[in-house]
Each structure stands twice: as structure tokens, then as C-alpha cells.
């Protein structure tokens, strides 16, 4: 958890709006991965935002994200 706190403090943390492109990509991710990998709306929005902005997702729970093609993950232990 310390890694997350330090990362958020050191990074210029920005709240990104959910755009139409992010929403459409998130819906595509849900259609592709909801049944097979239990991807839910919040995780789909996170993944879609990262993909749209070419960002890496920092997460302690990679289970739902691993299947998403092209998504970069930085996994940590809480």
C-alpha cells in the first residue's frame, strides 16, 4: 500500500473524464470478458481509460485485467 501512496504523491494524479470513446471501449470489454473473466463495469472503465490514454494500470487485483489484450499492468502486493 505504501507503493500506491508514494506513487500517487509523486505522480501528477489527474482525474480523467469518462468520454464517449472510453464508454464504447468499456462496453466492448464487458461484452468480450464479462462471462469468461467476470469483468464488471468499474474494471472495464478503468481498463478502457488506460487503453484510450496509453497508460499502465497499477493494481493489486490483476485477475479481471489480465485477459484484456493490449492492457499494461503493474501488479503490486498490498
For the chain (78 residues), the mean pLDDT of every run of 10, in chain order, is: 73 84 98 93 97 94 91 89
What are the φ/ψ torsions at residue 72 (nearest 5 degrees)? -90, 135
| Predicted local distance difference test score (pLDDT) of residue 15 | 81
Task: Report the pLDDT value the prediction gives residue 64, as an integer from 0 to 100.
Answer: 82
Domain that holds residue 44: 2-9+18-75
Alpha helices, DSSP H, located in 1-78: 2-10, 20-37, 41-52
Specify the number of domains making up the chain: 1
CA separation for the pair 11, 26 (Å, rounded) = 25
3-state SS, residue 78: coil
Beta carbons within 10 angstroms of residue 65's beta carbon? 22
- CATH number of the structural domain spanning residue 22: 3.40.50.1010
Q: Report the pLDDT value the prediction gives residue 48, as an integer from 0 to 100.
A: 98
End-to-end CA distance of the chain: 5
What is the pTM assigned to this prediction?
0.82
The reported pLDDT for the residue numbered 9 is: 74
Amino acid at each position: 500500500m505504501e507503493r500506491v501512496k508514494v506513487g500517487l504523491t509523486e505522480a501528477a494524479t489527474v482525474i480523467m473524464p469518462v468520454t464517449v470513446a472510453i464508454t464504447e471501449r468499456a462496453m466492448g470489454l464487458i461484452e468480450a470478458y464479462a462471462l469468461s473473466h467476470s469483468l464488471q463495469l468499474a474494471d472495464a472503465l478503468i481498463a478502457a481509460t488506460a487503453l484510450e490514454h496509453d497508460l499502465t494500470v497499477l493494481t493489486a487485483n490483476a485477475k479481471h485485467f489480465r485477459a484484456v489484450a493490449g492492457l499494461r499492468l503493474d501488479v503490486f502486493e498490498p
